[in-house]
Chain A
Amino acid sequence: MAVELDVELVSPEEVTYSGSAEMVIVRTVEEGDIAFQAGHVPFLGVLAPWSVDVLRPGGERDTFAVHRGFVEVSHNKVTILSDVSESADEIDTARAETARQQAADALAVDAEDAEAAAALERAELRLRVAAA
């Protein structure tokens, strides 16, 4: 494909990632995955805690765990605003595994524990992104 997308991952503290891509796949709060390619209509969405996949022109794939945020697409530019995002290399698998265990244990005791449920979701997302 001749036209590429500019991708930027921006946290409040800094621009964490910027590069070009053929396709960007995200998941919005409506529980649906959505993929963007060049020429996509302007789009604005709220992201679910899920992974963001950036397919590079060379066929490489960068995966990030984005715990909350927004995606804006306009003029072949994909901007992901998120205060909590991590790339696959940044994730400490051992720590995520421990966190998953703890959260699962807490949920076993109290199934209504919303905090533990959220922690479990985060830990599972981290592990999934790290494995990808």
Chain B
Amino acid sequence: MPGGKERELRRRIGSIQSTKKITRAMELIAATRVVKAMQRANAARPYARLITSVIEDLAAGGAEVDHPLLRQAPEVRNVGFIIITGDRGLAGAYNTSVIRTAERQVMAHMSEGKGYSLCCVGRKSASYFRFRNYRIDNAMSGFSDNPSYDDARRIAETVSESFLSEAVDQVELIYTEFVSMGTQRVVVRRFLPLVDTEMMAREGSGTGREGSFEFEPSPEAVLEALLPRYTEARLYGALLDAAASEHASRQRAMKAATDNAEELITKLSRAMNQARQDAITTEIMEIVGGAEALGGGDATDADVALASMLAGTDASVMATAGAHPA
């Protein structure tokens, strides 16, 4: 049936074109969001830096380190995991690479005979682990592309609670670190117990600050009020990094999809043009054949019949007819 293949191809090109419009729009949205997410991550840095420097000062001031959040369990029996993924897909390997790393970590701890407790942040990780019948203790979602400090506080509180109640002895934080626009990598960080303040001081800038601080009410009380804030700030930093990474991954994935759609459209357009050309050629062959059979060898009649047929068709048919000996 002439024209059938052509119509089919035209329909496919149409649908690819509308897909391309969507992926292009998503790419542009992700591009603006990644800039915003990066700005937010940068704006959050002073607080994180200052809170670390306050801890350094505390260490220098000789605060006695004895806080439940610093509790090192003699034997780790249960390990908690905070898994930060996105709420939505279409972000390339962003979600799957976090999930894969997390599952490997859980497996590794289980093979050592330890229990696990999952805190899934983002809809994707929750649905993955739920589908595979893992026990999920906490699942939070709805803010992965624009996390607020309140979200971080909620997660930190829930996790700290289960740590303080000794339901878990150790908490690992798995998220995607935003290195640059081109590079994001999945990292596994110890979230709890916090390393002691001396370690923090050593990990920090380590500048020789003067140690003669006055504390009010006391170094221990300051530390006690400070450590929960410190966990929140760390989690908030991780959420912001993850959000920036998600947008960057989505932008890249959608750019690839748009490019693919363009390539596919070019290919299909070529195939469609060829199909149309073939259909036209076939049609003319049929007309000529029919005219010849009718005319019974009378050349003049055949020419007239062909001319009247051609008058009804479009210009591209003329071109084909011209190349075709009548």
A81 near B214: Cβ-Cβ < 8 Å? no
B47 near A81: Cβ-Cβ < 8 Å? yes
A14 to B219, CA, bound (A): 26
- Collect the chain A residues with CB atoms within 8 Å of residue B315's CB: none
- Collect the chain B residues with CB atoms within 8 Å of residue A42's CB: 57, 210, 212-214
Chain A 51-88 interface 0/1 with B at a Cβ cutoff of 8 Å (1 = within): 00000000000000000001010100001010100000
What is the chain B residue whose CB lies nearest that of A28? B216
A44 to B232, CA, bound (A): 20
B47 near A46: Cβ-Cβ < 8 Å? no
B43 near A81: Cβ-Cβ < 8 Å? no
Tell me which of A14, A29, A44, A81 has the highest count of chain B C-beta atoms within 10 A of its own C-beta: A44
- Collect the chain A residues with CB atoms within 8 Å of residue B40's CB: 13
- Collect the chain B residues with CB atoms within 8 Å of residue A13's CB: 40, 43-44, 47, 148-149
- Collect the chain B residues with CB atoms within 8 Å of residue A93's CB: none
**Chain A-chain B contacts (Cβ-Cβ < 8 Å), number:** 87
What is the chain B residue whose CB lies nearest that of A45? B216
A81 to B225, CA, bound (A): 12
What is the chain B residue whose CB lies nearest that of A32? B216
A28 near B47: Cβ-Cβ < 8 Å? no
A30 contacts partner chain B, Cβ-Cβ < 8 Å: yes
Chain B 199-216 interface 0/1 with A at a Cβ cutoff of 8 Å (1 = within): 000000000011011111
A43 near B214: Cβ-Cβ < 8 Å? yes
- Collect the chain A residues with CB atoms within 8 Å of residue B229's CB: 70, 81, 83
- Collect the chain B residues with CB atoms within 8 Å of residue A11's CB: 47, 149
B50 contacts partner chain A, Cβ-Cβ < 8 Å: yes
- Collect the chain B residues with CB atoms within 8 Å of residue A44's CB: 54, 57-58, 61, 213-216, 219, 222
Whether A72 contacts B233 in the complex (CB less than 8 A), given A43-B214, A83-B149, comes out as: no
A10 contacts partner chain B, Cβ-Cβ < 8 Å: yes
A3 contacts partner chain B, Cβ-Cβ < 8 Å: no
A41 contacts partner chain B, Cβ-Cβ < 8 Å: yes
A47 to B241, CA, bound (A): 29
| Residues of B32-52 whose CB lies within 8 A of A | 40, 43-44, 46-48, 50-51
Q: Which A residues are within 8 Å of any B CB, using their own CB?
A: 8, 10-15, 28-30, 34, 41-46, 70, 72, 74, 79, 81, 83
Q: Which B residues are within 8 Å of any A CB, using their own CB?
A: 40, 43-44, 46-48, 50-51, 53-54, 57-58, 61, 148-149, 152-153, 209-210, 212-217, 219, 221-222, 225-226, 229, 232-233, 236
